[in-house]
Amino acid sequence: MTYRPDPERYDSAHFRRVGRSGLKLPAISFGLWHNFGDTTPLDTQRSILFKAFDLGITHFDLANNYGPPAGSAEINFGHILKQDLAAYRDELIISTKAGWDMWPGPYGRGGGSKKALLSSLDQSLGRLGLDYVDIFYSHRFDAETPLEETADALAQAVRQGKALYVGVSSYSGNKTREIAAFLKERQVPLLINQPAYNLFNRWVEKDLLAASDDVGAGIIAFTPLAQGLLTNKYLNGVPQDARVNRPGGDFLRPEHLKDENIERARALNEIAKRRGQSLAQLAIAWVLRDPRVTSALIGASSARQVEENVAALNDLTFSAEELAEIDRYAVE
């Protein structure tokens, strides 16, 4: 059956300007790290993506290595894009990244060299079936490559018309400032920074939020739900269908699920209930409480989760008392 997006999808959607650029992103973006490889039926993938788009999510975040197997998320997304979403390409922001292991030999082992980044971008475009992506990221800082070379590769991607904007992921505050300066010399602004940020991981608050703001880049916070820990999923044990029990789910490690964290999640869940929110909704709203955060980059394994999570946008305000109480449980 032909997919027809909800005609009211933009009526109550929230968009935020990305740093000092002209681009706006939805306050909630959707990532395809998990659940979009070959182990998830395409119809399930479709139902999640369509729900997201119907709810005003226009930004879909990928990377060369998302799967499993690596590359399959781009292939599957490209397939759905071509079959069902081609007419909406100009309503979509599609991102990809390069920097982690992808193909054999020194150039496919990631990093930030021009060879690694630009070859990977060409491969991503091939898998996605696109002429260009909207945002191309250096997925990680690479101490073995001069940052100027990484900046050069990103700027070249823009000059070649293969990316409209560029970003960096998991860079420190200082490295963010450095690469932004190198990019500026090349007349390509750093659009956005993609770090981990959630109630259990607040490293960006030290200096990354300020550094990004200073250079005019937005922030898109990945794993705002701590991979599911900040939802009702693990409050009463580990369900069989949880990410930890699926291929590639080992990034959520046993130490993340230790009793102390579950206790904290339960306490935060009580605060969420008082606000009339689920824990997932509180966690997303909390990340977005800082206007320097452009977007919360969520994942989901079902359309129902997307629906619940997008409803976080109905209440993004916190009282000072609530924030102080949340702080008691939100330590790293």
3-state secondary structure of 242: coil
Smallest distance, Å, CB 139 to ligand NDP? 6
Is residue 32 at the binding interface for ligand NDP, with CB under 6 A as the rule?
A: yes
Q: Site for ligand NDP (CB under 6 A): which residue of 40, 231, 269, 277?
A: 231
Is residue 299 at the binding interface for ligand NDP, with CB under 6 A as the rule?
A: yes
Is residue 169 at the binding interface for ligand NDP, with CB under 6 A as the rule?
A: yes
Q: Site for ligand NDP (CB under 6 A): which residue of 136, 182, 197, 222?
A: 222
Q: Which is nearer to ligand NDP, 153 or 320 (CB)?
A: 153
Q: Which is nearer to ligand NDP, 124 or 301 (CB)?
A: 301
For residue 195, whether the previous peptide bond is cis, meaning omega lies within 30 degrees of 0, is no
Q: Which residues neighbour 20 within 8 Å (Cβ) at sequence distance 6 or greater?
A: 189, 216
Is residue 269 at the binding interface for ligand NDP, with CB under 6 A as the rule?
A: no
Going from the C-alpha of 254 to that of each of 240, 250, 260, the distances in angstroms are: 15, 9, 12
3-state secondary structure of 317: coil
Distance CA 326, CA 279 (A): 12
Counting every residue, how long is the chain? Answer: 332
Four-residue CA torsion sign, 125, 36, 111, 26: positive
* Token pair in block for residue 327: 């702080």
Contacting range for ligand NDP; rule: CB under 6 A; set: 16-24, 109-117, 267-275, 295-303? 295-303
Smallest distance, Å, CB 262 to ligand NDP? 14
* Token pair in block for residue 156: 């070249």
Residues 92-131 within binding reach of ligand NDP (CB under 6 A): none
- Of 119, 97, 103, residue with least CA distance to 167: 97
Q: Are 216 and 20 in contact (CB under 8 A)?
A: yes
Smallest distance, Å, CB 5 to ligand NDP? 21
Is residue 227 at the binding interface for ligand NDP, with CB under 6 A as the rule?
A: yes
Residues 179-218 within binding reach of ligand NDP (CB under 6 A): 194
Is residue 280 at the binding interface for ligand NDP, with CB under 6 A as the rule?
A: yes
Q: How many residues lie near ligand NDP (CB under 6 A)?
A: 30
CA–centroid distance for 68 within its chain? 17
Smallest distance, Å, CB 195 to ligand NDP? 8
Positions that interact with ligand NDP (CB under 6 A)? 31-34, 61, 139, 169-170, 194, 222-228, 231-233, 242-243, 280, 297-301, 305, 308-309
